[in-house]
Amino acid sequence: MQNNDIGTYGEMSLTVVRNGRIIDPASNRDETGDLWFLGDRIVDEPLNDESEKITVIEAKGKLVLPGIIDMHTHLCEPGYEYRETIESGTRAAVAGGVTALACMPDTDPVIDDVPTVKFIQDRALNSAARIYPIGALTVGSEGDCLTESGKLLEAGVVALSDAERSIGNPAILRRGLEYNRMFNLPIIVHCEDPFLSRDGQINDGYQATRLGLKGSPTVSEETIAARDIMLAEETGGRLHLTHISSAVTVQLIRAAKKRGVQITADVSPLHLVLTDEALLAYDTNLKVTPPLRSQRDFEALREGLLDGTIDAIASDHTPRSVDEKKVEFQEALPGALGLETMLSFIFTELVEPGHLSISSAIKALSTGPAKILGVEGGLLSAGNPADFLIFDPNSTWLVDADSLKSKSNNTPLAGRTLKGFVTRTVVGGKTSYLHR
């Protein structure tokens, strides 16, 4: 990162990104042209061109896309800095074209009070990407008492969640949905019945049987998803189901949306592309929560994404140290890195083969999450923050786990060749990543 372009943004300097293919799904824009920004905002092309102070960024043959807004990232700070820090996590983010991310509260301490939110915000002041903290729904994410969400909201949280812990007691979730209605705060839930998925290592199917690993059935997700949707319907609260993995869950959401229930959902790139068939041997980097499912499930997830049942793609970036991954499969902690590879992976596996248009991909990666979280971004029209990325769709790169920006290296995509990569990421008018 020697380029002195990094980090410089002149006093309200005018910049143009020239000759790129600009894709802005929200304004139905998909054309080769120029994108102008002044300081940290996107502007219309100036009428009188006083060319002395214009910075030009050439983007010929490249895509200019709204920055990715990742609504499910584990930054691990405070408490698990050996896995990731706000600094390393956001550097990984911008390397993947992610300009803003919502970080899960499953830190130590849990993000359940104002000082912890402030701590994250302080640490995020000079970070490469924007950070939106997600507050815990219950104190310590223990599922018993609701957090002071009014204060958390005032401090800047964009959603509430107990991260990877399903709310055990439905009365607590019901109360949370009901209470937080006045703030219009989305409650992000991970759907998993701990009894049904107890000791579950991978999807309950042929591979689990073949490898002799305890299976975690999809019904563990479905029963809780059904319950949570019913609670949202009854209370009128805003519910967001994160990293859904099963075909039945997609059906449940589709039906609920038809009834007008206020729910949204996201899926991880891995679940859109891989099935448990990928677990030929015991690759612990493929051990994720929820587990990779069957062909039928991933087809339904793709369908759900296409018809709008699923609103967003989220990385579910979960850094794990070598000592947490290079162990017996049963002992390995679940989770996979995602920030740096998500766009290229989606592009390679879904956009290039024609399963998903680039504009739908951007909707799911950027516009959709911005809407759910109620944050700026995801748009390239004048007045919006200059948060965008430049993507080279024609070159390929080899994923090398050890040269990723993340502090951990638990990517299940190591050794894969991906098509397309981020050449530049701009956050608030400032180049925070430049591919060399």
Which stretches of the chain bind another protein, using CB under 8 A?
198-199, 204-206, 208-215, 281-282, 323, 326-331
* Residue 297 annotated to the active site: no
Residue 15's Cβ-side half-sphere holds a number of Cα atoms within 13 Å equal to 25
Q: Smallest gap, in angstroms, from Cβ of residue 335 to another protein?
A: 17
Return the residue matching tokens 């060749």.
417
- From the list 162, 316, 387, 392, the catalytic residue is 316
Q: Please report, to the nearest 10 degrees, the dihedral formed by the alpha carbons of residues 335, 339, 343, 344 taken in order.
A: -80
Match 């219009």 to its residue by tokens.
184
Which is nearer to another protein, 324 or 387 (by Cβ)?
A: 324
CB of 199 to another protein, least distance (A): 6
Structure tokens at 277: 């068939």
Angle between the N-to-C axes of helices 114-123 and 86-95, in degrees from 0 to 180, rounded to the nearest 10:
60
- If the CB atoms of residues 18 and 214 are measured against another protein, the closer one turns out to be 214
Q: Which is nearer to another protein, 212 or 260 (CB)?
A: 212
Cβ distance to another protein smaller for residue 126 or 330: 330
CB of 78 to another protein, least distance (A): 25
> Which tokens is 93 given?
């983010």
Nearer to another protein, 147 or 410 (CB): 410
The region, left, alpha or beta by phi > 0 then psi within -120 to 50, assigned to residue 236 is left
Give the span between the Cα atoms of 37 and 39, in whole angstroms.
6
CB of 322 to another protein, least distance (A): 9
In 66-164, alpha helices (H)? 86-95, 114-123, 149-155
Distance (Å) of CA 237 to CA 110, 190, 271: 23, 16, 27
Give the nearest distance from C-beta 215 to another protein in angstroms: 6
Q: Which residues are catalytic?
A: 316
